[in-house]
Structure formats: structure tokens, C-alpha cells
């Protein structure tokens, strides 16, 4: 494969072509003018220039033709580029520079067959021609062909070696790792000091999973540029080693660190690492300090806030995309041009920013917010199947099933994701039979693990045990997630013996899985079965002694079981042990929207500006409940009461009750109230919310950690009290 490797000095294609420019060119400066336009991404203006000379294009210099093809490549203008190809086809046998430019053009436009035909027809394959083909294969996700082509090259230069490493990085398998190491050992020593080779080699090693080899290479590099640091950081992130990525950033000296924050790709890598480590404050600080706010940087920030359960902040980032840019301009006349520039940037970019927006809206789960924000998505994107699939999921998670169904019926490319999103939406909203019916209509080739999990979950939340059992028994390959969902279904229905049998069946050939025992424990909690809960918890400690952070949630469940049965001493002991260990309990939050503002409440929250009014309204509602005949259920209080507390005051201070009260302060008769909780709704709050909906004749929609509860004005809930 590597017959002989020599250090070829890479000669720029454009410079050589320029030197060989045809003296008979109509305008000797035309190529230079076109290059300036291309460098400034004004590709349409480049083609406007060539159009003025279209009657003489056959006599234009190679330099001009190459610039015209570059503009066509960037615009993906296959028709115009093909026309130029036809006009200069007679030159190809004698010109080594237009040839690779044409291959690059066709590859950029995704026409691999035309590029391949050109390559196969070339009598003399130069390194530039090989390079154009390899680069094109990599761009079109056909790295294997690029690697195969490399084996034909006798004397690869740095550019070719760099492309090989890129191809291996794209595939990222053990086979490619072996090839990368073999080639790196055989290239000239001078190549090893080239920063481009160093960067691509680190990238390949990282993407092939050999972080130790990448670290070893990094440690030997005496002069490290920002791209080398960036490759290391991205590599650590890919390999789920975000802390090491941050440590790598901390090695950068201060002047370079400033430059680092001015490079959007490097900044994105750092922000991604910080967000994955949960350091949202530092990430936001760097984001605000940086002068470079590209769409990729915005996307990383939005994704970061979403994974850290801070969806409202992701919405804030989206809203600031235009505002941040406008604030940099103190000339009002520039604002319109700036707005158009941003719109063009959106249209040129992929749809990631909008997918992030929809994901954030889905996490918030409030219809009014989603409705206003979705209107900002360009109509051209609304027909994209990825956007449509995301919208189905979003509307389902906001409880807006009419909207979810409407989009599902109009999806341009209905696939397994669209079906699964719709099935999951039905399940979340208590429409389990519709979920089952759609699952049965789903094309068999679309059915995968996610589809099985969603339909079984729908059955689980409505008590459709027989249907779930039938579906489960007909699944040929049952993964641990599928087992867990079926165990959850059985446990919710208190069919504990069968649930345990499934666990035993799974563990016959596999290691124990934490989530299966949590499903079993949750079911025992629902039944207030303290003995069974303790037994399950003891087995969890035995099977998973190393999962101390996960045992916290199990301990809280067990404590809640004892509290619900009146054994407050045992419940308190468990809580005290948790406090001694320093374990942190997940804070319960409720999100709602009032007058266009997103409000967030904790239990007994007093941070709201109108907190006093909220508690007055909460007391008023409480009196109405008592007059109606409601008796507060102390079994849902999982801690000892303080001297100044009562059962009523503790339960009335739950976060969703404060959110409900806040809605009634200014508007005594709202038509609908919508709340999103991050924890499961307690039994007393569930009963109370049904009564409030009936007394105040206001529909209340509450999405908790498991499902969506539609509390109707007739005093009923969509879950039929099965939760």
C-alpha cells in the first residue's frame, strides 16, 4: 500500500492554476476579483461576473474557471457547474488543475457518479486528483472508498495523509485504528512536526477510541496550536471524558486562551464539555465573554441547558440570537441588513438550532409558550420531516393531541421516529388504546426497540396488562429496556410475582439491571407495601453496592413507603442516614406560564414578587376544598412536621398548588391552567386538583415525571386515577 512515502511540498492548486493562466483571457484581473468575492462568500456575485463573459468563457483562464466552479460548489448549483464543465471539456486532457476542481464540484453537489466517471477517465492521476476524490468520498460519508483509494497512491504527501486520517476518523473502528498507527509509523519524520498532521492524527486516534495513544502524542508535541488543543478536547468529549476536556483547556496559556474563545469551533467544544459536566455557570460566563456567537455556539448552549434540565434558559438563548447581534450595532440603519444577514445564515445552516428550540419547548411542556415560539420557525423548515417528528413529540408533551395528530397526518417522510413519537404522545396523554391501534398499523420494518418501549409504556400507564403481555411475548429480541418496561407495567398493576419472574428470567443470562428493581420498588410504593419494598431495597443494595448516588432515589422511595404506612420513625431514620451521607435529594419544581412569562415554583416557595398574594389565594382555595369535604391525606407527607406546620400547610405548599394559586390572582376565571412538574404528582395533590378544576370550572393540565394529567371541569382526570 505504501510503496514509498516522500515529503511532497503541497503546491496550492489555485496558485499553480493562476501561474498557468491563459494569456488570452478577456480580463486578466477577472480571476482575482472572483477570488475576492469567493473569499467573502459572495458566490452569486462571483457568478454574475462570469455571466458577463459567458460568450467568451471558453477562452477564460483556468484561474477564472476554477473560481467559477468554486462558487458553483458552494451554492450546490449543479446545473451551472455542469454547463461550465461542458464548455471546458476539451481542456481536461491537457489541464491538470480544472480536473480536480470539477471532481470537487460534483462531490460537493453529491453527484458521486459524475465525479467517479471523471476520475476513471483521467489518464494521468495526480495527487490533486486523488485528493479531490478522497475528500469527496469523506464529505459524502463514504470513508471506506477513500481508504481503498489511498492504497493506489504510491507517494502520498501531507495532504493525502491528512485525508486518510480523516477517513479513518469517520469510520472509527479497530480496523481503522490499526491502519492509522501503521501509516503514522511509516511517514517521514518531518510529517510528524506538521500541525495539520498532528491535529488529524489526534482526531483519528480519539475517534477510534484510543485516548491513551492520543494523549501520548499530545504530550510529545512541544508547540501546540489551538487546533491541536481543540482536537484533544473534542476527542475527550466524544469518549465521555468531559472533565479531561476541561483540564486540557486549563493548560492553554492566557494569550492563546483569548484566541481560543474567539474560535467558534474550539469554543463550542469547551462549552460542550462544561455543560456535560454540569458546570452551566462557567459555561454561561465564557459564552458571555466570547465575542464569537455563531449558530453552532448558540446550539451548544441550548443543548447544554436542555441536558441540565434548564429548558427556559435554552429558550432565552434562542430569543437572544438576534438581540445579541443588534446590540453590537449602534447604527440603526444597519439593523435591517443585519436581520437579513441572520436569516440568510439560518437558511444556509442546518436545522439544529430549531430542533434544539423544539426540544426545549417539549421539556417545558406549556402549550401557550410552544405555540408562540413555533411561529418563529420558517415555513420552509416546517415541511422537513425531522422538524415534523420533533413537533409531534413536542405537542404530545404539551398535551396538545389535536396538534400532534394534525402534524402526524401531514408528515412528508413518515418513518419509525414519527410513528414512535405519536405512539408515545398517545401514551403520555392517557390514550393508550389509540397508542396500541397505531402500533398495530405501524409497518413492521419500522418497529424497533423504541416502538416496543413506547407501546408497552402506554399500556403500563393505563393498566392494559393483558395487551402488554401479548405484545411482550411476541417480541423476538427483548432488550433490558423492553424487560424493564414490561416489569413496570406488571408492578403498577401489583402483579409482583410475574414481575419478579421476568427479572429472574432476564438474570439467567444477564447481569442484574438497576432500572428493573426501581420499577418493582415503585410498584410496591404505590401499593404501600412496606415489607415488599424493604425486601426489594435490600436486594438492590446487594446487587448494586457501587451505585451509591442511584441508591439515594431508592432510599427516598423506601422512606416514602414507611411514611405512607404511618411508620414515621423508620422513614425519619432513612432520611437522617441520607443527610449524613451528604446525598442530595432532587428538588421538586413546577413550571407554568402567566402573561407570557415562565414562572418556576418550589415547594413552599416565597421568591415570587407576589408571593403574599399567592399564599392568600392558596388559603382561599384550601377553604373551598375543606367546605367541599376534602380531607388532607397525611400519608403523602414524608417527613416529620415542624412545630409551626400542619398537614394542611405542608400539602398546600406543594409547588403545583402554588402555581395553580398564582393563576387565579389576576384572572379569577382562566379557561385552562398548565403546569409541568419534574417529580411524580402526589396522591393528595391529584385529588385536590380534580376538585379545583370542578369548583373553579377551569381545565388544569399537569405533566409530571411519568405522564400528563388532564383534569377536566367535571372533576375527572384522564388517568382515571391509575398513576
DSSP character string of 53-116? TGGGGGGS-HHHHHHHHHHHHHHT-HHHHHHHHHHHGGGTTT-TTHHHHHHHHHHHTT-HHHHH
Cα of 76 vs its chain's centroid, Å: 28
| Of the candidate ranges 91-100, 130-139, 358-367, 540-549, the one whose mean pLDDT is the lowest | 91-100
Q: Indicate whether 28 belongs to any domain.
A: yes
Do 356 and 317 touch, CB atoms closer than 8 A? no
Q: Indicate whether 193 belongs to any domain.
A: no
Q: Kind and range of the H or E element at 597?
A: strand 597-602
**Domain at 109, CATH number:** 1.25.40
Tell me the per-residue pLDDT of 588-602, one tens digit each, with 9 for 90 and over.
Answer: 899 999 998 999 999
Do 68 and 25 touch, CB atoms closer than 8 A? no
Residue identified by cell 448558540 is 298
Q: What confidence score (pLDDT) does residue 350 get? A: 57
Q: Indicate whether 619 belongs to any domain.
A: yes
**pTM value surpassing 0.85:** no
**Average pLDDT, rounded, for the chain:** 88
Q: Indicate whether 293 belongs to any domain.
A: no
Cell of 351: 436545522
Kindly indicate the confidence band of residue 551, based on its pLDDT and cuts at 50, 70 and 90. confident
Mean pLDDT of 469-478: 96
Cell of 637: 407527607
Q: Which of 89, 124, 159 is the last residue of a domain?
A: 124
Structural domain including 109 reads 1-124
Q: What confidence score (pLDDT) does residue 321 get? A: 83
Kindly indicate the confidence band of residue 22, based on its pLDDT and cuts at 50, 70 and 90. very low
Q: Which of 83, 106, 124 is the last residue of a domain?
A: 124
pLDDT above 90 (res 625): yes
Share of the chain above pLDDT 90, in %: 67
Nearest to 579 by CA among 605, 556, 550: 556
pLDDT above 70 (res 411): yes
Residue identified by cell 388517568 is 719
Q: Indicate whether 98 belongs to any domain.
A: yes
Q: What confidence score (pLDDT) does residue 119 get? A: 94
In angstroms, rounded to a whole number, what is the distance separating the alpha carbons of residues 399 and 420? 16
- Sign for the CA dihedral angle at 358, 364, 365, 367 comes to negative
pLDDT above 50 (res 2): no
Kindly indicate the confidence band of residue 347, based on its pLDDT and cuts at 50, 70 and 90. very low
Q: Which of 83, 107, 124 is the last residue of a domain?
A: 124
Share of the chain above pLDDT 70, in %: 91
Q: What confidence score (pLDDT) does residue 579 get? A: 80
Q: How many domains does the chain have?
A: 2
Q: What is the 3-state secondary structure (H, E, C) of 638-673?
A: CCCCCCCCCHHHHHHCCHHHHHHHHHCCCCCCCCEE
Q: Indicate whether 415 belongs to any domain.
A: no
Nearest to 229 by CA among 208, 207, 260, 201: 260
Q: Indicate whether 486 belongs to any domain.
A: no
Kindly indicate the confidence band of residue 69, based on its pLDDT and cuts at 50, 70 and 90. very high
Residues 6+ apart with CB under 8 A from 85: 102, 105
Q: Indicate whether 434 belongs to any domain.
A: no
Mean pLDDT of 214-235: 93
In angstroms, rounded to a whole number, what is the distance separating the alpha carbons of residues 459 and 465? 7
Q: What confidence score (pLDDT) does residue 338 get? A: 43
Do 306 and 317 touch, CB atoms closer than 8 A? no
Mean pLDDT of 530-551: 89
pLDDT above 90 (res 30): no
Amino acid at each position: 500500500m505504501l510503496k514509498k512515502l516522500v515529503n511532497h511540498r503541497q503546491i496550492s492548486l489555485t496558485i499553480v492554476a493562476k501561474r498557468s493562466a491563459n494569456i488570452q483571457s478577456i480580463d486578466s484581473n477577472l480571476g482575482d476579483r472572483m477570488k475576492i468575492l469567493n473569499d467573502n462568500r459572495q458566490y452569486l456575485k462571483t457568478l454574475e461576473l462570469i455571466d458577463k463573459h459567458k460568450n467568451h468563457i471558453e477562452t477564460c483562464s483556468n484561474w477564472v474557471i476554477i473560481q467559477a466552479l468554486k462558487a458553483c460548489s458552494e451554492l450546490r448549483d449543479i446545473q451551472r457547474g455542469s454547463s461550465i464543465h461542458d464548455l471546458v471539456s476539451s481542456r481536461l486532457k491537457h489541464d491538470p488543475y480544472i480536473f480536480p476542481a470539477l471532481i470537487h464540484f460534483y462531490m460537493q453537489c453529491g453527484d458521486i457518479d459524475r465525479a467517479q466517471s471523471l476520475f476513471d477517465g483521467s489518464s494521468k492521476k495526480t495527487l490533486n486528483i486523488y485528493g479531490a476524490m478522497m475528500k469527496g468520498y469523506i464529505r459524502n460519508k463514504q470513508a471506506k472508498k477513500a481508504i481503498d483509494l489511498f492504497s493506489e497512491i504510491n507517494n502520498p504527501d501531507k495532504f493525502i495523509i491528512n485525508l486518510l486520517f480523516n477517513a479513518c476518523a469517520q469510520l472509527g473502528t479497530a480496523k481503522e485504528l490499526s491502519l492509522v498507527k501503521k501509516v503514522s509509523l511509516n511517514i517521514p519524520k518531518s510529517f510528524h512536526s506538521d500541525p495539520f498532521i498532528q491535529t488529524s492524527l489526534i482526531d483519528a486516534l480519539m475517534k477510534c477510541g484510543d485516548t491513551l495513544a492520543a494523549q501520548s502524542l499530545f504530550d510529545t508535541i512541544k508547540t501546540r496550536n489551538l487546533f491541536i488543543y481543540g482536537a484533544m478536547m473534542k476527542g475527550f468529549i466524544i469518549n465521555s471524558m468531559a472533565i479531561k476536556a476541561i483540564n486540557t483547556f486549563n493548560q492553554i496559556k492566557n494569550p492563546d486562551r483569548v484566541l481560543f474563545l474567539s474560535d467558534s469551533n474550539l469554543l463550542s467544544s469547551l462549552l460542550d464539555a462544561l455543560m456535560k459536566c454540569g458546570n452551566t455557570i462557567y459555561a454561561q460566563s465564557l459564552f458571555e465573554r466570547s465575542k464569537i456567537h455563531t449558530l453552532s455556539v448558540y446550539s451548544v448552549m441550548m443543548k447544554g441547558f436542555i441536558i441540565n434540565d434548564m429548558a427556559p434558559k435554552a429558550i432565552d438563548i434562542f430569543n437572544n440570537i438576534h438581540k445579541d447581534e443588534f446590540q453590537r450595532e449602534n447604527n440603526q440603519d444597519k439593523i435591517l441588513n443585519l436581520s437579513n444577514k441572520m436569516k440568510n445564515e439560518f437558511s444556509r445552516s442546518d436545522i439544529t438550532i430549531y430542533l434544539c428550540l423544539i426540544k426545549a419547548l417539549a421539556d417545558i411542556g406549556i402549550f401557550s409558550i410552544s405555540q408562540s415560539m413555533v411561529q418563529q420557525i420558517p415555513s420552509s423548515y416546517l415541511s422537513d420531516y425531522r422538524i415534523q417528528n420533533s413537533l409531534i413529540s413536542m405537542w404530545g408533551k404539551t398535551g396538545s393531541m389535536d396538534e400532534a395528530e394534525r402534524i402526524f397526518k401531514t408528515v412528508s417522510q413518515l418513518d419509525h421516529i414519527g410513528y414512535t413519537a405519536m405512539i408515545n404522545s398517545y401514551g403520555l396523554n392517557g390514550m393508550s388504546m389509540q397508542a396500541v391501534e397505531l402500533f398495530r398499523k405501524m409497518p413492521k420494518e419500522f418497529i424497533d426497540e423504541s416502538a416496543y418501549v413506547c407501546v408497552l409504556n402506554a399500556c403500563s400507564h393505563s393498566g392494559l396488562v393483558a395487551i402488554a403481555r401479548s405484545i411482550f411475548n411476541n417480541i423476538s429480541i427483548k432488550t433490558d429496556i423492553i424487560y424493564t418496561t414490561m416489569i413496570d407495567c406488571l408492578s403498577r398493576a401489583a402483579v409482583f410475582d410475574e414481575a419478579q419472574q421476568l427479572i429472574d428470567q432476564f438474570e439467567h443470562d444477564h447481569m442484574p439491571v438497576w432500572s428493573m428493581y426501581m420499577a418493582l420498588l415503585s410498584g410496591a410504593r404505590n401499593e404501600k407495601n412496606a415489607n415488599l419494598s424493604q425486601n426489594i431495597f435490600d436486594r438492590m443494595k446487594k446487587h448494586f453496592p457501587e451505585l451509591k448516588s442511584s441508591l439515594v432515589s431508592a432510599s427516598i422511595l423506601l422512606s416514602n413507603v414507611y411514611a405512607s404506612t404511618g411508620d414515621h420513625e423508620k422513614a425519619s431514620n432513612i432520611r437522617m442516614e441520607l443527610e449524613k451521607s451528604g446525598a442530595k435529594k432532587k428538588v421538586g419544581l413546577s413550571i407554568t406560564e402567566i402573561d407570557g412569562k415562565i414562572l418556576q415554583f418550589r415547594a413552599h416557595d416565597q421568591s415570587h414578587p407576589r408571593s403574599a398574594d399567592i399564599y392568600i389565594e392558596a388559603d382561599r382555595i384550601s377553604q373551598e376544598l375543606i367546605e367541599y369535604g376534602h380531607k388532607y391525606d397525611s400519608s403523602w407527607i414524608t417527613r416529620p412536621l415542624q412545630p409551626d406546620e400542619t398537614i394542611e400547610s405542608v400539602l398546600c405548599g406543594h409547588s403545583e398548588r402554588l402555581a395553580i394559586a398564582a393563576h387565579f390572582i389576576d384572572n379569577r376565571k382562566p379557561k385552562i391552567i398548565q403546569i409541568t412538574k419534574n417529580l411524580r404528582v402526589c396522591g393528595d395533590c391529584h385529588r385536590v386538583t380534580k376538585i379545583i378544576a370542578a369548583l373553579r370550572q377551569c381545565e388544569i393540565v399537569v405533566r409530571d415525571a411519568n405522564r400528563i394529567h388532564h383534569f377536566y371541569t367535571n372533576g375527572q382526570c384522564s388517568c382515571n386515577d391509575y398513576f
